[in-house]
Structure 1
Amino acid sequence: MTTSDPTVQPVPASVADWVDAADTTLSNPKRAVIALGSNLGNRLETLQGAVDALEDTPGVRVKAVSPVYETEPWGVEPGTQPSYFNAVVLVRTTLPPGSLLERAHAVEEAFERVRDERWGPRTLDVDIVAYQGVLSDDPSLTLPHPRVHERAFVLAPWHDIDPAAEVPGHGPVAELLDEVPGQGVERRADLELRLPE
C-alpha cells in the first residue's frame, strides 16, 4: 500500500541532512517521528492542536506534517468505536527521549485524554515512533515503537513525508508498507493539517 501524491512535499531525500538556517533556537537537535491519532470529538481540530502544541514546546520544531488518514480502530471489534484520524509529524528536538515523552503525555492531557482501557477510544494519542535511530527496550519508552512496523496508519503518512525513512531494526518504511494490510486506512484528500509558521 505505497502512497504517492505530487501535492505532498516530502522532506529532503536525506533526512539526516535536515538543515534550517533560520532555526537558531536549537543546538545539536535530534530527529524524531511522532504519530498522532484521534477518534473522539473534533478529530481534525484536535490533531491540529497537537501539532501546534508540539511546535510551541521549547526545544521542539515541527519540520513536516503528513496528510490525514482515516482508519478503523486497532485491536477492537469493527463498529464498536468511531474511526480515527491519523497523521505523522517529523520534528527536530533538543529534548532527550524521556522529556519528549513527558511533553507528549502533557499534550494528550491538555486534550483530556483518558486511559481507561487498552485500545480504548481517545481524544488524542501522541506516540513517539522513532528518535534519531535509537534502539531502546525501556518499558516506559520502547524505541522504535514496538508495533510501528505492523501499522499502515502510521507507515502510510510517514512514507508520504519521508519516502526514504527506515524503522530502526525493521527496514525501510516503503517495504514495510507494502507488507502490511492497507484495508481500513484511507487518505483524506479533503482534510489538511497546517505546518506551523
Structure 2
Amino acid sequence: MYCSGFKKIIKSAFFPRKFARNSKKLRKIRYTYILGIGGNIANEKEVKSRFERLIVKLEKDRRFKLVKSSPIIKNKAFGYENQADFLNAVLEIKSSLYALKVLKIMLNYEKIFGRKRSFKNAPRTLDIDIIDFSAKIRQSERLRLPHPKACQRLSVILPLAMM
C-alpha cells in the first residue's frame, strides 16, 4: 500500500500559502485544477527550491491563477523503491484552459525543470500530475481524470488534507 512512508512536513515561503485575493475575479475563471507536484533528484533544499521556482513561473503565467498550496511532505518512494525519498505537495489553480491543454503546458514545465522519462516511477527533477479537473471525469489515452491512483497515494492524500 502507498500510505506508509511519510517522513516529515516541510514549510517554505510558498508552501503552504493562499495566493488568490480577488474571489470575484476567480469565480469568472472557468475551471479549478488540483495539481500534484513531486521530485527527488537533488537534495531536499534543491527540490524545495525547484518547487518554489515553479510557483514563481506559475504566478507569472497569465493562463493560470494560483489559489493555494499545501505544505510539502517528504515520503518514501513507491513503485520503484531503490531511489531517494520524494518531496510532494499539492496546488490548487484556476484556468480557463481545458485539461489536455493544461497537461501539455505542465509537461513543458517538467521539461524546463529537467525532467527525463527513463522508465516508469524513475527518479525525477519535477513531476506535475493533474489530480482533479473541476470534478469532471475524463478518460482518454493521454489523460485520465480524476487521477486514477490519487486516492491511494499518501503523496496526494496528506498534502490535500493539509491544504
TM-score, normalising length: structure 2: 0.81
Aligned match of 2:55: 51
1:106 corresponds, among 108, 111, 117, to 108
Percent identity reads 23
Whole-Å separation in 2 of the counterparts to 1:65 and 1:158 = 9
Tell me by how many angstroms 1:52 deviates: 2.1
Is the contact made by 1:38 and 1:86 (CA closer than 8 Å) also made in structure 2? yes
Larger Cα Rg: Structure 1 or Structure 2? Answer: 1
Whole-Å separation in 1 of the counterparts to 2:71 and 2:29 = 28
The aligned amino acid for 1:68 is: I
Query: Structure 1 residues 132 and 157 mapped into 2: Cα distance closer, same or farther (>3 Å)?
Result: same
Which structure carries more strand by proportion?
2
Whole-Å separation in 1 of the counterparts to 2:17 and 2:51 = 20
Is the contact made by 1:129 and 1:148 (CA closer than 8 Å) also made in structure 2? yes
Confirm or deny that 1:68 pairs with 2:68: no
Tell me by how many angstroms 1:57 deviates: 2.0
Which structure carries more helix by proportion?
2
How big is the alpha-carbon RMSD for the aligned residues of Structure 1 and Structure 2? 2.4
Tell me by how many angstroms 1:103 deviates: 1.1
TM-score, normalising length: structure 1: 0.68
Aligned with 1:153: secondary structure?
A: helix
Unaligned runs of 5+ in 2: 4-14
Aligned match of 1:147: 149
Tell me by how many angstroms 1:29 deviates: 2.4
Unaligned runs of 5+ in 1: 2-7, 12-17, 162-197
Aligned with 2:93: secondary structure?
A: strand
Aligned with 2:139: secondary structure?
A: coil
Is the contact made by 1:51 and 1:89 (CA closer than 8 Å) also made in structure 2? no
Matched length: 146
